[in-house]
Structure 1
Amino acid sequence: MRVLVAGATGVIGRSLVPLLGAVGHEVVGLSRSVAGAEQVCRVGAAAVVADALDAEAVARAVREAAPDAVVNMLTAIPEEINPRKLAEQFALTNRLRVEGTRNLIEAARAVGGARIISQGLAYGYQPDAGAADEDAPLWHSRTPKQFVSVLAALTELERATVAADGVVLRFGHLYGPGSIYAADGSFARQVRAGKVPLVGGGHAVFSFTHADDAASAVVAALDRTEVSGALNIVDDSPAALREWLPRYAEILGAPAPKSAPAALARLAVGGWGVAFMNELRGADNARARLRLNWRPRFTSWAEGFVTELDADRAAAA
């Protein structure tokens, strides 16, 4: 199958492009810069250059690539996120998720209706008890104001993808090379500096996804052409912040996180920062296991963090 990957140089794309080639797909990476295209070519794929927000450029690139499938991993997430400025920092990503997705779908339709696979999020569910399946409502009630525009863009991405009979892979908190949780990532730096406390008891539940597992889910979705709709692509072990953050700090050799009351933390990180640390709901991956026959390599964040951070330390030695 000939596969166009939009966002080929991102955290997932860097795992996905070589994996697609290894299992026999012809891969074309879409990049908005020549430097990005060169990066794609260095791992053995072809490349086309286009700004995803330029509909005419995307149409030309898709015609040139002539794909059987389009994998939409478009984001422009900053290396370090300020939760008080989430809406501002995600403005470009929101446009990519709405306008970029529309441009890719319209271009794919014009060349014969290539299969669409898009990147969603598995931590936008309405806070509640237990791990959310895909039928659980998204966070449309009492949504932190900084997250409203982000969720609106994700909702439109999902609507457009599903309307095109595509698949939305709702990834959890991504870790692996190039992510904020990598040894050289922004979150790791903040934890080492003692700047990530357990807010309000640390009740937020996180479902993690290693970049390699995200990539293998895309491959599985390409193989299962009959599958459409949204699927949670997360590990088997949702964990509260109070459980995983101290272990993450320990693996990094960082100081144990301190506790902070939610009211005080709100002054520093705003409503979204408090919600992120104290209200998020984890996700269930049973439907993806059944419909895609997909299994995460890292079934638990604990195993994945140890493996990934040990590899980072070995590479730095």
Structure 2
Amino acid sequence: MASRKVFVAGATGAIGQALVPMLVEAGYAVYGSTRQAARAPLLEALGATPVVLDVFDAHALDEAFARIVPDSVIHQLTDLPAGLNPTLMREAVGRNTRVRDEGTRNLVAAAVAVKAARLVAQSIAWAYRAGPMPFDETAPLDVDTQGDRHVTINGVVSLERQVLAAPLVGTVLRYGQLYGPGTGAEQATGVSPVHVVDAARAACLALKRSEGGIYNIAEDNPAVSTGKAKRELGWHPSKDARAGHPAPTNLA
């Protein structure tokens, strides 16, 4: 099988570290970004070609994309403290929103410039406005909220609009509350949890099967519906992932 080039933004994050080996196993040539040169050996060990850059440096990002010419882009960037440390979260909210707004803008522009075919981006499944549950992907987001939640949802809205409006196949994955290796939560937490391996597997499946749009990605729960992801992507939460054994991605 001919190798296909995928640029994974945020490849050393919790989802990124689970995702890169899946993509490599499926036959993709993976280019993984990190802001820290010291993390390049980790990416090499996972099977990716490291790309050291800051997503806010649009010129550097454009140069990297012009050199690599990726067929697809997966946006898993966040800027959150390790373990979601509550004492650091207030400051992190603004930084994370900047990633979703400005960082997404730069990624979309770079992808469009090299005529990438697909973009898969990380969003969240706990941004819905209060109403009848379970929420499906057509339910309105809580844009009229206040405080830190307002800042967060503004970033989510910006990311999703940019991805879905781009002239490529844009897919948004609204992840539930992550748990598992690298997330700071070893057990399921929140009303709509999802294991980090299952989250990564959803990105793999979206890369191959999505025709664009929004998908809730979470374990079965009363808060959000994941029927669309099951029907269209063939994604299901895996008992193997929750037991620490990754499920096959069936992407080859």
Equivalent residue of 1:135, what SS? Answer: coil
Provide TM-score, normalisation by structure 2: 0.88
Corresponding residue number in structure 1 for 2:247: none
The verdict on how the C-alpha distance between 1:132 and 1:112 changes in structure 2, with shifts beyond 3 A counting, is same
Letter in 2 for 1:97: R
User: How far did 1:298 drift?
Assistant: 3.6
Distance 2:213 2:87 in 1: 32
Distance 1:104 1:114 in 2: 13
Distance 1:145 1:65 in 2: 40
Corresponding residue number in structure 1 for 2:151: 149
Corresponding residue number in structure 1 for 2:198: 213
Distance 1:32 1:41 in 2: 15
Q: Between the two proteins, what is the percent identity of the paired residues?
A: 39
Distance 1:174 1:73 in 2: 13
Distance 2:66 2:48 in 1: 17
Distance 2:70 2:174 in 1: 23
1:101 aligns with 2:111: no
Corresponding residue number in structure 1 for 2:91: 88
Q: Which has the higher helix share?
A: 1
Corresponding residue number in structure 2 for 1:125: 128
Corresponding residue number in structure 2 for 1:286: 227
| Equivalence map 1:155-174=2 (5 Å) | 155-164=157-166, 165-174=169-178
1:295 aligns with 2:224: no
Aligned residues: 240
User: How far did 1:85 drift?
Assistant: 6.8
Bigger shift: residues 2-11 or 56-65 = 56-65
User: How far did 1:88 drift?
Assistant: 2.4
1:234 aligns with 2:218: yes
| Equivalence map 1:44-123=2 (5 Å) | 44-81=47-84, 86-123=89-126
Distance 2:93 2:66 in 1: 29
Corresponding residue number in structure 1 for 2:39: 36
Residue pair 2:69, 2:116 contacting (<8 A) in 1 also: no
Bigger shift: residues 87-96 or 288-297 = 87-96
Equivalent residue of 1:58, what SS? Answer: helix
Corresponding residue number in structure 2 for 1:177: 181
Letter in 2 for 1:129: P
Provide TM-score, normalisation by structure 1: 0.71
Letter in 2 for 1:67: P
Corresponding residue number in structure 2 for 1:261: none
User: How far did 1:65 drift?
Assistant: 2.1
Letter in 2 for 1:217: A
Distance 1:81 1:120 in 2: 16
Which consecutive residues of structure 2, in runs of 5 or more, have no partner in the other structure? Answer: 245-252
Equivalent residue of 1:166, what SS? Answer: strand
Letter in 2 for 1:55: A
Which consecutive residues of structure 1, in runs of 5 or more, have no partner in the other structure? Answer: 189-204, 239-281, 309-317
Distance 1:151 1:221 in 2: 23
The verdict on how the C-alpha distance between 1:25 and 1:81 changes in structure 2, with shifts beyond 3 A counting, is closer
Distance 2:239 2:125 in 1: 17
Corresponding residue number in structure 2 for 1:265: none
Letter in 2 for 1:287: K
Residue pair 1:94, 1:154 contacting (<8 A) in 2 also: yes
Letter in 2 for 1:284: S
User: How far did 1:25 drift?
Assistant: 1.2
Distance 2:159 2:141 in 1: 14
Residue pair 1:132, 1:284 contacting (<8 A) in 2 also: yes
Letter in 2 for 1:118: A
Letter in 1 for 2:237: P
Letter in 2 for 1:236: D
